């Protein structure tokens, strides 16, 4: 049976570290700013119980001084959701706690029915208490690796009077189960949403890259990001101010690498997302053929976004559905009727290496090497240092950056201090540069992120030799 191990911690430990009222109020205010705006707060949590308060304030009431119905519903959602989460002892919530898919629970509201009994003219107190038999069933199902579907009651009182009653229906399951697998290719709507949101966010960061030498012609990225991507990018910049510069730098360095390949005829983008390079660079690169590889659900969103673009320029493109953990990149390309490994080709492996373990990266790099048969062909890739993954950093600025990544749920699983050595197991020669060197900047965070250009033939420069002597 597919199981999700129950952590061996006590309720007291879980309460202290995961679900106590003060902590959950802070975390939910960060995750859902409207809760902070209306001063909503958690007042009590026990196993299977949550109580909260929606105070009378100008942000939450109407002209008659009573709570707005939509905010009562919002309070019901998070009160019931936290009562359900309290049963999943030791399991962090995706989108709320710092966690990864491998150790977290995903929860979402499927339906709600709220009955408003009377106007609320005092602080509104919500209570969700899960019956013992239902609580036992929830735990049994979740920790057996099964999806939980629970309908929970939430009541609201003010000044001792019953104001509203709600019936809330929630889904909950281990986040790892949202990913499609070889045995189960069905795509969860929540997984698809997260995938698309991440791509829009990166497009939003590219779209706002407008400073100095790293200015990017971002008209297409802006359309790809849309209002959702621009909003996510603004929020992200508030948490991780260096990240936009990192994305701008990697985009520009990749563009420069493409422009440096003599007679470039093919560009392969691994993990294409909403990368608009085919539209930005098609003419400037003398019309190469672009191969865009990504998960099928991401390519579906990519096609939708591109179809809605205003007057997109002509570009020669081929989209290839691929899951890099299950499909061999070389086989997908070599079996494509339009791909020719003998032509000058550049592969862009951007924003991917840190999400695959070393064995998976090795397999992907081996596959890339097999399709780069022309002597001028090359691979562009980006890498984080091992300390970014391990957290073994002594610099406060880097530590703050890593904490911000954790808050976003963007925890990396692989880092490498010397990706040139890893890459040269597959290709002849690699030039390596950190963002700190590329920008000639002092911020130590930029030293943790590196770009690599790997070639079929040895083209070492004096700068490359000097960097190697310094152990970069």
- The two tokens of residue 176 are 């790892």
- 257 lies in some domain: yes
Residue 459 pLDDT level (bands cut at 50, 70, 90): very low
Tell me the H-state helices in 320-385.
Answer: 329-334, 358-371
Residue 210 reports pLDDT greater than 60: no
CATH number of the domain that residue 456 is part of: 3.40.50.150
Chain centre to alpha carbon of residue 431: 28
DSSP 97: S
Interval 299-345: pLDDT, tens? 999 999 998 887 777 899 999 999 998 899 999 999 999 999 999 99
Same domain membership, residue 289 and residue 144: no
Name the 3-class secondary structure at 254: helix
pLDDT at 3: 47
For 271-337, strand residue ranges (E) read 289-294, 317-321
CB 7, CB 89: distance < 8 Å: yes
For residues 317 and 113, what is the distance between their CA atoms, to the nearest angstrom? 48
pLDDT at 375: 93
Interval 155-200: pLDDT, tens? 999 999 999 999 999 999 988 877 665 555 555 565 666 667 777 8
- 209 lies in some domain: no
CATH number of the domain that residue 150 is part of: 3.10.129.10
The mean per-residue pLDDT over the stretch 121-131 comes to 95
**Phi-psi group of 66: left, alpha or beta (phi > 0 → left; psi -120 to 50 → alpha; rest → beta):** beta
CB 44, CB 21: distance < 8 Å: yes
Domain that holds residue 392: 242-469
Same domain membership, residue 403 and residue 321: yes
Residue 463 pLDDT level (bands cut at 50, 70, 90): very low
- 447 lies in some domain: yes
Same domain membership, residue 281 and residue 145: no
Looking at 126, 153, 178, the residue that finishes a domain is: 178
- 311 lies in some domain: yes
- 22 lies in some domain: yes
CB 450, CB 415: distance < 8 Å: no
The mean per-residue pLDDT over the stretch 420-440 comes to 92
Interval 211-236: pLDDT, tens? 455 556 667 888 888 888 787 777 77
Looking at 126, 143, 178, the residue that finishes a domain is: 178
- 453 lies in some domain: yes
Of the candidates 366, 352, 358, 362, which has an alpha carbon nearest to the alpha carbon of residue 323? Answer: 352
- 206 lies in some domain: no
> Which is higher by pLDDT, 188 or 270?
270
For residue 61, how many other CB atoms are within 10 A of its CB? 18
pLDDT at 37: 94
Residue 461 reports pLDDT greater than 80: no
- 247 lies in some domain: yes
pLDDT at 442: 87
Same domain membership, residue 397 and residue 269: yes
Kindly state the percentage of the chain with pLDDT values over 90: 57
Residue 140 reports pLDDT greater than 80: yes
Interval 89-118: pLDDT, tens? 999 998 888 777 778 898 999 999 999 999
The mean per-residue pLDDT over the stretch 421-445 comes to 91
The mean per-residue pLDDT over the stretch 130-154 comes to 94
Query: In what helix (H) or strand (E) does residue 93 lie, and over which residues does it extend?
Result: none
For residues 280 and 59, what is the distance between their CA atoms, to the nearest angstrom? 44
Same domain membership, residue 253 and residue 402: yes
Same domain membership, residue 315 and residue 450: yes
> Which is higher by pLDDT, 196 or 85?
85
CB 265, CB 343: distance < 8 Å: yes
pLDDT at 402: 64
What domain count does the chain have?
2
**Phi-psi group of 48: left, alpha or beta (phi > 0 → left; psi -120 to 50 → alpha; rest → beta):** left
Same domain membership, residue 401 and residue 311: yes
Residue 292 pLDDT level (bands cut at 50, 70, 90): very high
Residue 18 pLDDT level (bands cut at 50, 70, 90): very high
Same domain membership, residue 254 and residue 167: no
Looking at 178, 195, 228, the residue that finishes a domain is: 178
Same domain membership, residue 142 and residue 59: yes
Same domain membership, residue 249 and residue 163: no
CB 336, CB 343: distance < 8 Å: no
- The structure's pTM equals 0.75
Exposure string of 263-279, with b = 16+ CB inside 10 Å and e = fewer, is ebbbbbbbbbbbbbbbb
For 84-129, strand residue ranges (E) read 105-116, 124-129
Same domain membership, residue 247 and residue 174: no
Range of lowest pLDDT (121-125, 126-130, 150-154): 121-125
Same domain membership, residue 311 and residue 174: no
């Amino acid at each position: 049976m597919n199981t999700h191990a129950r952590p061996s911690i006590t309720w007291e430990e879980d309460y202290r570290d995961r679900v106590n009222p003060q902590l959950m109020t802070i975390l939910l205010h960060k995750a859902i700013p409207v809760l902070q705006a209306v001063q909503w707060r958690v007042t009590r949590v026990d196993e299977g119980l949550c109580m909260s308060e929606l105070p009378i304030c100008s942000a939450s009431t109407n002209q008659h001084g009573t709570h707005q119905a939509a905010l009562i519903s919002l309070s019901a959602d998070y009160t019931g959701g936290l009562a359900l989460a309290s049963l999943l002892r030791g399991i962090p919530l995706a989108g709320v706690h710092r966690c990864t898919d491998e150790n977290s629970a995903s929860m979402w509201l499927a339906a709600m029915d709220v009955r408003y009994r009377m106007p609320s003219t005092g602080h509104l107190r919500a209570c969700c208490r899960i019956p013992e038999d239902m609580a036992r069933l929830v735990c049994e199902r979740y920790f057996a690796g099964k999806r939980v579907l629970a309908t929970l009651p939430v009541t609201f009182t003010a000044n001792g009077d019953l104001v509203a009653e709600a019936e809330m229906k929630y889904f909950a399951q281990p986040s790892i189960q949202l990913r499609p697998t070889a045995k189960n290719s069905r795509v969860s709507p929540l997984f698809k949403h997260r995938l698309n949101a991440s791509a829009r966010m990166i497009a939003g960061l590219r779209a706002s890259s407008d400073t100095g030498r790293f200015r990017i012609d971002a008209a297409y990225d802006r359309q790809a990001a849309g209002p959702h991507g621009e909003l996510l990018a603004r929020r992200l910049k508030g948490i991780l101010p260096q990240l936009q510069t990192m994305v701008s730098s990697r985009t520009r360095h990749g563009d420069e690498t493409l422009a440096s390949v003599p007679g470039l005829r093919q560009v392969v983008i691994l993990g294409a997302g909403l990368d608009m390079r085919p539209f930005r660079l098609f003419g400037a690169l003398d019309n190469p053929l672009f191969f865009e590889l990504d998960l099928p659900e991401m390519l579906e969103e990519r096609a939708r976004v591109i179809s809605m673009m205003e007057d997109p320029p002509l570009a020669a493109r081929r989209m290839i559905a691929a899951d890099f953990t299950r499909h061999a990149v070389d086989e997908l390309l070599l079996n494509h009727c339009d791909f020719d490994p003998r032509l000058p080709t550049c592969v862009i492996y951007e924003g991917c290496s840190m999400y695959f373990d070393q064995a998976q990266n090795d397999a992907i790099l081996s596959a890339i090497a097999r399709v780069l048969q022309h002597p001028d062909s090359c691979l562009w890739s980006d890498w984080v240092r091992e300390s970014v993954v391990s957290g073994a950093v002594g610099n406060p600025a880097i530590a703050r950056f890593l904490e911000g990544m954790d808050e976003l749920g963007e925890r990396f699983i692989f880092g490498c201090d010397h990706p040139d050595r890893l890459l040269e197991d597959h290709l002849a020669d690699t030039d390596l540069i950190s963002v700190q060197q590329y920008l000639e900047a002092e911020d130590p965070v930029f030293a943790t992120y590196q770009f690599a250009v790997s070639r079929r033939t040895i083209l070492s420069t004096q700068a490359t030799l000097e960097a190697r002597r310094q152990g970069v």
